[in-house]
A = this chain, B = another copy of it.
Amino acid sequence: MASVILGFSCPDQPGIVHSVSSFIVTVGGNITESQQFEDRDTRLFFMRVEFDVPDTSDVAGVKAAFAPVASRFGMQWNLVESNRHSRLLIMVSKYEHCLNDLLFRHRSNSLAVDIPLIVSNHRDLEEMAAWYGIPFEYVPATDKSAAETRLREIVSEHEIDFVVLARYMQILSDEFCKDFSGRIINIHHSFLPSFKGARPYHQAHERGVKLIGATAHYVTSDLDEGPIIEQEVARVDHADSPDALAAVGRDVEARALAKAVGWHAEHRVFLSGSRTIVFK
């Protein structure tokens, strides 16, 4: 027996669920988890359904059987084996908290990803990568165009499914962001109110914020503004120095990013215009 995950979105209309469930019956499938959502703003319908198929089914055959249904409703869709790990490229600079958190969860088998490579524009975290047994490649950011050329090669060579910017401190080109739309996750600090510009934790300290937050989101060409996947906050107070705020910030960043990465890896996140549908 194999288990597969089907995810799709399409314009809403009557009969979608019925057609999908007919298809599942046809291939001998048994649903084990299913979620759906009708976005009243975009009039799009979203569905994620996980189902077991008999041993004799091949996944390619299941995909072929679904194609006509997808076509009829104009779906954007994806069907994968549940136990296939998504292939993740992690990009970092010098901060290690998010990288360590992701690698530790990977090592503990609590993230359903393979990590064929870590890329950085610095060599600082090479040793950490080595200890966790993950290959590391130094891609200097000095020549941005050359760097992105190399990144595209890496994505192709390693059959990367998605990229996580785990505190990667370089800005990707608009073209790169567009080509990998919905496949790059970034993490950044966020506050109430929000602060623009340098030294955000100093600004937060100066304004006396009582909560420190972090937002994990898909990258768009508008930096720090793409569709939000997850947000976390922690409480702070007047006695916390900017350094103490930054330490709290590191914890909430790592937590928000780990959740976003896990959900994306399990095909639980869908894009609906400028926002996400997350089937936890």
Whether the pair B36, A34 counts as a contact (CB closer than 8 A) is yes
CA distance A32 to B14 in the complex (A): 10
How far is B40's CA from A274's CA once the two chains are assembled, in angstroms?
36
Which among A71-79, A151-159, A175-183, A230-238 touches the partner chain?
A: A230-238
CA distance A179 to B72 in the complex (A): 50
Q: Does A7 contact B (CB under 8 A)?
A: no
Q: Which residue of B lies closest to A246 (CB)?
A: B110
Whether B213 pairs with A192 at a CB distance below 8 angstroms is: yes
Contact residues in B for A57 (Cβ distance below 8 Å): none
Let me know if A241 is at the binding interface, CB within 8 A: yes
Is A17 in the interface zone, CB < 8 Å from B?
yes
Instruction: Quickly give the copy total for this chain.
Output: 4
**Known contacts A15-B25, A21-B18, A239-B37; A215/B228 CB under 8 A:** no
CA distance A238 to B229 in the complex (A): 10
A278 touches B193 (CB 8 A): no
The answer to whether A238 touches B276 (Cβ under 8 A) is yes
Number of interface residues of A (CB under 8 A): 69
Cβ of A247 to closest chain B Cβ, rounded Å: 5
What's the nearest-Cβ distance from chain B to residue A262, in Å? 10
How many angstroms from the CA of A38 to the CA of B192 in the assembled complex? 25
- Rounded to whole angstroms, the CA-CA distance of A250 and B109 in the bound complex is 13
Answer whether residue A221 sits at the interface, using C-beta atoms and an 8 A cutoff.
no
**Pairs A–B under 8 Å by Cβ, sample size 22:** A13-B30, A14-B28, A14-B29, A14-B31, A18-B21, A18-B22, A18-B25, A33-B239, A35-B36, A104-B104, A108-B250, A110-B247, A131-B131, A192-B231, A193-B194, A206-B275, A208-B228, A208-B272, A210-B229, A211-B231, A233-B233, A238-B272
